[in-house]
Chains A and B, each alone.
Chain A
Amino acid sequence: MKKYWLLIPIFTLVTAGAALAGKAITIKGSDTMVILNQRWAENYMNNHPGAVVQVTGGGSGVGISALINGTTEICASSRTMKDSEQKKLRERWNILGVGIPVAKDGVTLFLNASNPVSELSLEQLKNIYTRKVKNWRELGGPEAPILLYGRESSSGTYVFFKDTVLLGADFAPETQTMPGTAAIVNAVSKDPNGIGYGGVAYASGVKHLKIRKTAGAAAYDPIQENVKSGVYPLSRDLFFYLRKTPSGDTKKFIDWILSPAGQEIVTKVGYFPVK
C-alpha cells in the first residue's frame, strides 16, 4: 500500500506556512492615480510604522492583468473592469473582483465672474477647446473672444479632459497652459473672457460652469453631491480592485484611505473625495 496521500497534509502545511508570512501591500495600475497612491502610501507608512506599501504605475489595463496574474494585491484603476477581464479573474480566483471606489476624478470648468454664460454642454466645450467656437457671442455671451486656459500635458486632468470632453482630439494650440489649478483659477478670475478647467471642486473668485451631458439634458453644478451621485457629467470613479474583500493589513490600509485622513489627501492631490 502506497501512502502517497500523506503528501497532502505535508503540502498543506508547507504552503499554508508560506502564505501566512507577512508581506508588503502592493498597488499597481492607473497612471492617473499613481501620485495619489504614492501620497497615500507615504502618509500611511509615516503613521503606521512597520507597514510597507509599494506603488507602481503602468496604466489601468496593466494593473488589471497584474491582479489576474496575482502579481499585485491591489489594482488601481480609473475605469471599471471589462466583462472579459472579470471572467479571466473569475477563472483563477473565483471572484469577479472587489471594486472599492476610493476617490473621484472630476473636472470643474471656471469662468470669470462677470461672464453671463452659466451652462454649457460637453459638445460646446469640445468646440471651445478645439477652437471651432471662438467668440462668447456664439454661446449666448458678450461679443468677445474666448480665451482658453488649461493644464500642462503632464497632468491627469489634461488627460481626463482630452478623453472625456475632446474625445481624443487635440487641444487648440492657443490654449494657455498653467502649472496648476490655482494658477488657472487666478488667471480666469482676472480675465473676463477666460475659460479654464481644473481639478478642485471649489475655488473662490470664479464662476463654476454647470455642465450638460447633451444639448437637451439638465445641467449640473460641480458640487460634491452631484459628483458623488454621478449626475455631474465630468466625473468618474477611481477604483481599487482586489481579489477578495480586504482583510488584515490591507483592510487597515483601505479603511484608512476611506477615513477623513485618507480622503484629505485625495483633496490635496486634486481629486474629489468619495466620503
Chain B
Amino acid sequence: MKEENGEKGHQPTRAFAERRKKMGFKKIVFALPLAALLSLPVVTRAEEPDPAAQQGKIDSLDDRVLAVESDVSGLKKVKISGYVQARYEASENSKDQYKVDANKSVSSYLNKDYFYIRRGRVKVTWEPTSLTTFLIQIDAAKNTITLKDAEGSINFPIANKYSVGLKMGQFKWPFSYDVNRSSSDREMPERALSTQNLMPGERDRGVQFQATYKGLVDFRTGLFSGSGIQNSTFPVIPPTSKPTWVSRLALDFGWVSLAGSSFVGPAGFTLPADANSTNKILRRDRNRFGADAQFYYELPYLGGGRLMAEMISGKDFSQSLKSGNGGYAKSLGFQATLVQNFLDKEQFAFRYDFWDPDTGVDYNRVVTYGLALIHNFDGSAKLTLAYEIPKNEVKAPAKDPVDNKTTIQFQYKF
C-alpha cells in the first residue's frame, strides 16, 4: 500500500498507464498461486479422506510396520499360538465321595468345587521351507511344564492334488476323531469316557506316514511305542520290543465325513519277582478299533450344525481281573454329539456318552448326558457352560451316586 502510494506520488502524470499496468500485474499475482494449485489438482485430492485422523494413523503405522518388516520376514516362518482354559467346576455330591475306576481303585475325588487352569498350551511352529514343519507344544497348566507335542514333518505335494509326508517325534495317535480334535475346538469340557480310558493322553512317540488326496482322502499310518504319554512308565519304553501299529483312513465329502481307525500292538506287564529273583515279562495282545462319522447340516435362520458319532472297542489284558496268566477285558464306548450354532455367537451341544469298561461284567456301565452352551465373544475368546449327568449302572439296592457336574470355562486362544 505504502509503496504504491509512494509511486503514485512520485509520478502522478502516469496514473492511467500505471493503473493499466498494475491490473496486469495483479492478474499475474493472483494467477501465481492459482496456477500452482491448478497444476496439482490430483495431489491435493489425496487430502480428501479426513486428513487429520488418517494422517496420524498412517504415520504411526507406517513407521512401525516398515521398520519391523525386515525383521518379520525372517520371523514369519515361526508361529506361536496357544490357548488357556480357566475353569470352575462344581459337583452335586457330598464332600466325601470319590470315584472308583474299572480297576476298583480311587481314580478321582468328586468334590470338585474349585477353580483351576485346565490347559495352558503354547505351541511353536516353525516352517523353514514350504515342505517342512517343526512343532513343539507344551502345557503349563500344572506347576510342572509337560511336553505335549514335539514333531518334525515333511510333506511333498504331487500335482496339486496328492501329497505324501512323513512325521516323527511325539504327537497324537492317528486314531479316532475325538482324540485328534483339539480341545480348544471341542464343545464339551472333556473327551468322552471311552477316549479318556482307551487313549489316555492321546499322544505317543513314533513315526507316521501320511497320504492325502485333495481334501477328500486322508490316510495315516504309523508305528508308536504304544504306552502313551500318560503311562507311568513313559517315556521309558514299556517292556515290549514290538511297536504298536496305528492307522486311520478318513474320507471327507464336506457335508459328511467318515473314518475308520485301528490300533494294534502288544502291551507288556512285569510280573512280581519269582524265586530266582528274576522279573518275568508278560506280553499280551492289545487292540482298539474305531469308527466315526460327522454329518453337517444347516437349519434355516439359526445356522450350521453337526452330528458326530464315534464308536471304539478295546481289548486289554488285565492282571487285576485274573492273577497270573490273566484274562482279557473287552471294552466298548459310544458317543454321539449334536452341535447347533445359534446365530453368530452362540452354540449349543448335547452329548450322549456310553462307556462299558468290560462287556463281560455287569453293573459297570456309565452313560453320561452332557449339555453345553457356548458363547463366542469373537474368534479367540469363548465361554462354555456345561452340565453333565453321569448315570452309573448299579445293582439294586445301591443307587446311582449324586455326581452331576457343572463346569464354567473361559477359553482364550491366540
Contacts and interface: CB of A to CB of B under 8 A. Distances in A.
Tell me if chain B binds chain A. Answer: yes
Interface of A: 1-2, 4-5, 7-8, 11-12, 15-16, 18-20, 68-71, 73, 83-84, 86-87, 90-96, 98, 243-245, 247-248
Interface of B: 90, 92, 113, 185, 214-215, 252, 254-255, 296-298, 300-306, 339-346, 371, 373, 375-376, 378-380, 385, 387, 404, 406, 408
A19 B90 contact: no
B140 to A, nearest CB: 24
B344 A90 contact: no
B378 A69 contact: yes
A70 B346 CA distance: 11
B300 A247 contact: yes
A83 B162 CA distance: 13
A237 B350 CA distance: 39
B341 A93 contact: yes
A69 B379 CA distance: 4
A243 B303 contact: yes
Nearest to B408: A7
**Nearest 9 pairs of A and B residues by beta carbon:** A69-B379, A95-B304, A83-B215, A4-B406, A94-B304, A244-B303, A94-B306, A19-B343, A247-B301
A70 B378 contact: yes
Contact of A4 (B90, B185, B376, B379): B90
Contacts of A94: 296-297, 303-306, 339-341
A4 B296 contact: no
A90 B297 CA distance: 11
Contact of A244 (B90, B254, B298): B298
Contacts of A69: 378-380
Nearest to B389: A5
B345 A5 contact: no
B303 A5 contact: no
B375 A15 contact: yes
Contacts of A68: 379
B345 A19 contact: yes
A1 B304 contact: no
A8 B303 contact: no
Contact of B344 (A4, A7, A70, A248): A70
B199 to A, nearest CB: 20
23 contacts: A1-B92, A2-B113, A11-B373, A19-B342, A19-B343, A20-B343, A69-B378, A70-B376, A71-B378, A73-B344, A83-B215, A87-B215, A87-B252, A92-B376, A94-B296, A94-B297, A94-B339, A94-B341, A95-B304, A243-B304, A244-B298, A244-B304, A245-B300
Q: Is the interface of A mostly helix, strand, loop or mixed?
A: helix
A94 B343 CA distance: 12
B373 A95 contact: no
Contacts of B255: 96
Contacts of B371: 8
A19 B408 contact: no
A18 to B, nearest CB: 7
A2 B215 contact: no
Contacts of B214: 83
Nearest to B371: A8
Contacts of A18: 345
Nearest to B302: A244
B377 to A, nearest CB: 9
Contacts of B339: 94
Nearest to B308: A94
A16 B274 CA distance: 67
A2 B92 contact: yes
A92 B252 CA distance: 17
A68 B304 CA distance: 13
Nearest to B214: A83
B406 A5 contact: yes
Nearest to A94: B304
A90 to B, nearest CB: 6
Contact of A95 (B185, B296, B346): B296
Contacts of A16: 342, 346
A149 B1 CA distance: 57
Contact of A8 (B344, B345, B373): B373
Contacts of B343: 19-20
Nearest to A4: B406
A16 B252 CA distance: 33
A242 B300 CA distance: 13
A90 B342 CA distance: 14
A8 B385 contact: yes
A90 B404 CA distance: 31
A192 to B, nearest CB: 33
A5 B404 CA distance: 9
Contacts of B306: 94
B182 to A, nearest CB: 9
Nearest to B407: A4
Nearest to A83: B215
Contacts of A92: 185, 376
A143 to B, nearest CB: 41
Contact of A11 (B252, B303, B341, B385): B385
A4 B371 CA distance: 13
A248 to B, nearest CB: 8
Contacts of A248: 301
Nearest to A247: B301
B385 A95 contact: no
B380 to A, nearest CB: 8
Contact of B385 (A7, A87, A245): A7
Contacts of B254: 86, 96
A82 to B, nearest CB: 9
A15 B215 CA distance: 35
Given A243-B341, A245-B300, 14 more contacts: A4-B406, A7-B406, A7-B408, A15-B373, A16-B346, A18-B345, A19-B342, A19-B343, A19-B344, A70-B345, A83-B214, A84-B215, A94-B339, A247-B301
